Structure 1
Amino acid sequence: MPRSLPHRDDLLIAASGLLGGLVLYALGLSSRPVAGLPRRVALVALAVMAAVELLRRRRPLVGLAVGTCALAVDVCSGNLVATTVMFTDLVYAAVLYGPPAAYRLLPRACEAVTVIGTLLSLALIRRPEAVLVGCALAVVTIAPAWTGVGVRQHRDAAEAARLAAERTVLLAEMDRREAVVAERARMARELHDVVAGHLSAIAIHSTAALSIDEPDTSREALGVIRGNSVQGLAEMRRLIALLRGAEEAGEPAATPTLGGLDALLDRTRAALPDGRLTVELRDARGPGPLPAPVELAAYRIVEESLTNAVKHAAPGPVAVELTGADGRERALTVRVTSALDGGAGGGTEPRAPGAGAGLVGMRERVALLGGRLTAGPAGDGRWEVRAELPLDDEEKNT
């Protein structure tokens, strides 16, 4: 939508041109009239030219058309340099702010006018000085037109780069959100499987307690029911938090455990027949059992870290280390290190906008458990993913 008021710069250009023309006229610095018109008519042309300068952004082609007529009157009544300078600005503005057709055709039209004007001058004057008319036409028309072309091309390139950057940021944000939603959906399915196991145990033992009239059997069944209800309640709370932010999708999958890490490492080695990576596991966990959500999160973190190492790591060892989870440390620490790639980024570092969905998923899992995740260069030429997963005292959740 056009601006209701002229731009501040347009007002300044119009006022400067009008004032400069009045000073030149007062000093008598104008050429002889060509068609015998009174010199004061040049002031009318000057005022019209200053007025159409206010249209240079909003109606550039209209301003150029009116300005061309004003310039013709100015030349016939004794040319003022200020009027000519403002006309060159109108040519520049028509190319810069005009429609695409003007941007393409005006420079060619200016070239054609210059050539025709030069030939007519040579035919009428028949002296070498006639070439100066062509030079003047080129300065007044061709020079500002092609200057406008250059500025417009630069402006359009800058706008295209800005739009491309915004589009890249938008796509990266969309990828990040999709990764979060997909990871939460998978986590919800996996936790559902864990909770379903506890509920099944409760149902079976409660049926046994109701059907068998033996105190010892009932007491044992109630103990199992209590233990499964405590664990299921803690895990269900985490499940509800997930389901608030993601939709259930796909079929339920089997829930992996840390006992399957050896098989995971074997699959990783099999995916690297060239032997550029050597994968090692150091399991220094305590002997106690782990809560199912913690064990599941640790497995997924190792799995994603190994996947990223296969994609991005430089040749060398990949170490998977599990520590803690004993009586002294109420947290499981998962640490995966690999050699940094010397290229653009390395290890598991995302290399392009929108990449890094795996890191987003790992952060989601760790945040759900109230833990902490760091991923980045370790300072010794290696990339490190380190996750600390707290072990909740599930008795407190009853």
Structure 2
Amino acid sequence: MRRAAHWAGLSFAVGLLLIVGGAYTRRGVPEWVLVVPLALTCAGVLARYRAPLVSLGLGVVGMSMDLVVGPSLPTVLVFTDNVYAAALYGPAKFSRWLLGAASVLAVVAGAVAGSLAKDWKVLPIFGVQAALVLVTPVTTAMVLRQQRDQAAAERARAEQVARLAELDREAAIAAERRRMARELHDMIANHFSAIAIQSTAALSRKDLDGRTVRRVMESVRENSVQGMAEMRSMIGLLRQEGDETAEAMRRRLADAEGLVERSHEAGLVTAMHVEGDVRELPASVDLAGYRILQEALTNALKHGGQAVSVVIAYEPERVTVTVDNPVNGRRASLDGAGAGVIGMRERAALVGGSFEAGPTGVEGWRVKVVLPTGGRAGFPGGGRE
């Protein structure tokens, strides 16, 4: 509003100077009469932003009066701003209608002028002048309006793209958090479960000799060291950029013997059988198979406590891991978070595999996972038991 007031005041002041300087057609009327239509058009400038149609209405009234008593140059110039403001700030449909009306009025004005002068050579002269006053402001305003609308559409599109990018980022963060949660659970639960079970057994039994206690403590220490090493590896991996560290710290299903040996040390009798030729697997499949086997052995240690059978079968297009263990019907010595089976199922699904976990027979429990491998070639050192 302040900007419009300044512009209206400046227009009125400059217009007065032009009138005093004689920039009008003399028809024998006092100069102050020419100030009235100038004041009306300048009042239209004052309303150009808030009420553009009112601005045009005031301009039309002022211009009509000026044509009778003048016309004067300042009023004509200010009137062009009234037309421009109506086309730029008014409704879009009105600006299109105004362009058609201005074009017709320019032709009619030229024809009327030629008819009154009885010289049709005057028609193009007055027609061009009328077009400069009526058509040019409208076309200029429509061009600027189109650019303004296009800029607004681009801003809205950019905001939409930024919002979609933010949603993608949030989804990626959520997926990474779930992946880290699975890794930390599978990495630490096996070692700490063995530590808790062994220490509980050592504390609850008073008849253990020193040699047995020492063996239990050695196993506890080894699991502690292994757990700390894996935790440090995980922290180092999170701090690294690139895939070199990830490849170096990669867990492989071919290293399952280490899991079985630690299960033995924790007091779980485990028999492992490998069918087919051991071969390199895709990194994601290798890690999924290793972690699922690790979690299955941890659950067997917590809920079973009896002999466990592990079968790893390498087939042309897939690898199958099966863990069978009896359950004694007693409550688990350690309460779990309930995330083990969920994590195993998620790992299998992420690599396009299938997962099954449930009772077999009267007192048995089976975990079976089938992971697609894409039929990669094997390497020497196949089936072992």
TM-score range, shorter chain: 0.5 to 0.7
Greater Rg over alpha carbons, structure = 2
Return the offset for 1:69.
Answer: 0.4
TM-score w.r.t. the length of structure 1 is 0.54
C-alpha deviation, 1:14, in angstroms: 2.2
Q: What is aligned with 2:35? A: 43
Partner of 1:167: 160
Alpha-carbon contact 1:121-1:131 (below 8 Å) kept:
no
Match of 1:25 among 19, 38, 47: 19
- Give distance in 1, aligned partners of 2:253 and 2:155: 50
Give unmatched runs, 5+ long, in structure 1: 241-254, 269-291, 293-398
The aligned amino acid for 2:218 is G
Report the AA paired with residue 134 of structure 1. G
Paired residue type of 2:138: A
Pair 1:6-2:2 in alignment: yes
Residue 86 of structure 1: how far off its partner (Å): 0.9
Matched residues in 1 for 2:190 and 2:102: separation? 83
Alignment of 1:297-312 (within 5 A): none
1:49-81 deviations in Å (ceiling 9; x for gaps): 222212222221111111110111111111221
**1:95–1:148: 8 Å Cα contact kept in structure 2?**
yes
1:163 positional shift? 3.0
Root mean square deviation, CA, Å: 3.4
Q: Which residue of 2 aligns with 1:101?
A: 93
Partner of 1:217: 212
For 1:137 and 1:149, how far apart are their aligned partners in 2? Answer: 18
Closer/same/farther in 2, CA of residues 237 and 94 from structure 1, 3 Å limit: farther
1:109 CA displacement: 1.9
- Are the counterparts in 2 of residues 192 and 239 from structure 1 also a CA contact under 8 Å? no
The Cα shift of 1:213 comes to 2.2
CA change 1:77–1:238 in 2 (3 A) is farther
* Offset at residue 219 of structure 1 (A): 2.6
Distance (whole Å) between structure 2 residues aligned to residue 266 and residue 222 of structure 1: 35
Aligned equivalent of 2:329: none
Q: Which of residues 206, 224, 228 in structure 1 aligns to 2:223?
A: 228
User: What CA distance in whole angstroms lies between the structure 2 residues aligned with 1:238 and 1:6?
Assistant: 66
TM-score, length of structure 2 as denominator length = 0.56
Q: Aligned partners of 1:236 and 1:257: how far apart in 2? A: 14
* Aligned mates of 1:203, 1:144 — CA distance in 2: 85
Q: Is the 8 A contact 1:40 1:77 kept in 2?
A: no
Identity of aligned residues (%): 39
Cα 1:13–1:194 shift into 2, 3 Å: same
Cα offsets for 1:229-286 (capped at 9, x unmatched): 465578789999xxxxxxxxxxxxxx96156693126989xxxxxxxxxxxxxxxxxx
Which residue does 1:284 correspond to in 2? none
What is residue 357 of structure 1 aligned with on the other side? none
The 3 A distance-change label for structure 1 pair 266 and 80 is closer
1:126 CA drift (Å): 3.4
What does residue range 146-157 of structure 1 map to in structure 2 within 5 Å?
Answer: 146-157=139-150
In structure 2, stretches of 5+ residues that fail to align are 236-248, 255-278, 287-293, 295-385
Q: Aligned partners of 1:264 and 1:185: how far apart in 2?
A: 21
- Point out the more displaced range, 256-265 or 10-19: 256-265
Paired position in structure 2 for 1:257: 251
Inter-CA distance 83–267: structure 2 relative to 1 (3 Å threshold): same
Q: Distance in 2 between matches of 1:80 and 1:238?
A: 87
Match of 1:198 in 2: 191
- The amino acid that maps onto 2:280 is D
The question of whether the paired residues in 1 share the 8 Å contact of 2:43 and 2:58 is answered with no
Deviates more, 1:74-83 or 1:36-45: 36-45
- Once the two structures are superposed, what CA deviation does each residue of 1:287-341 show, in whole Å capped at 9, x if it has no partner? xxxxx9xxxxxxxxxxxxxxxxxxxxxxxxxxxxxxxxxxxxxxxxxxxxxxxxx
1:133 lines up with 2:121 in the alignment: no
CA shift at 1:13, angstroms?
3.2
Matches within 5 A, 1:1-398: 5-7=1-3, 10-33=4-27, 38-128=30-120, 129-209=122-202, 210-211=204-205, 213-215=207-209, 216-229=211-224, 232=227, 257-258=251-252, 262-264=280-282
In structure 2, C-alpha distance between the alignment counterparts of 1:236 and 1:26, rounded to whole Å: 90
State the distance in 1 between where 2:25 and 2:131 align: 19
